[in-house]
Structure 1
Amino acid sequence: MELQQGIIRLIDDQGKAERIKNFPYPRNFASVTTYLMFVFILLLPFGLLREYDKLGRGRFWKDIVFGLMFCFRQS
């Protein structure tokens, strides 16, 4: 009897997850998330300036430019 109740709960939870998966996000949520991701991508190399400085003076700006290019290519 407990096994049957466990299976019923599992099937109910699976149905709930399926409904959540297929529910569309509101447009404002998707756009805000995208904007925050781009702000993060832009600010990330500048947050790593100390680490870039440890690599040497000549690589400093090249690393920032290539890091930004790589991040925008991945997003």
Structure 2
Amino acid sequence: MVTPTQPAPTDGAEHLLTPGEVASLFRVDPKTVTRWASAGRIGSIRTPGGHRRFRESEVRNMLASLTSEALPQTTR
């Protein structure tokens, strides 16, 4: 289970995830997530301290698209 590092946004701001939280969702190493961001596969923003953060909505959309691609296609 992913534990958010920030309280839920109340002002309409986007919830941000750490590389570790994203890695947990995709079941990969956090360094893989950082490589994806460097390669442009997933968008990231930098905190004033230089750490990467990822928009939860973008991460969930990416996860959903990868999951749907992996599902077998049904024929009617």
TM-score normalised per structure 2: 0.28
TM-score scaled by structure 1?
Answer: 0.28
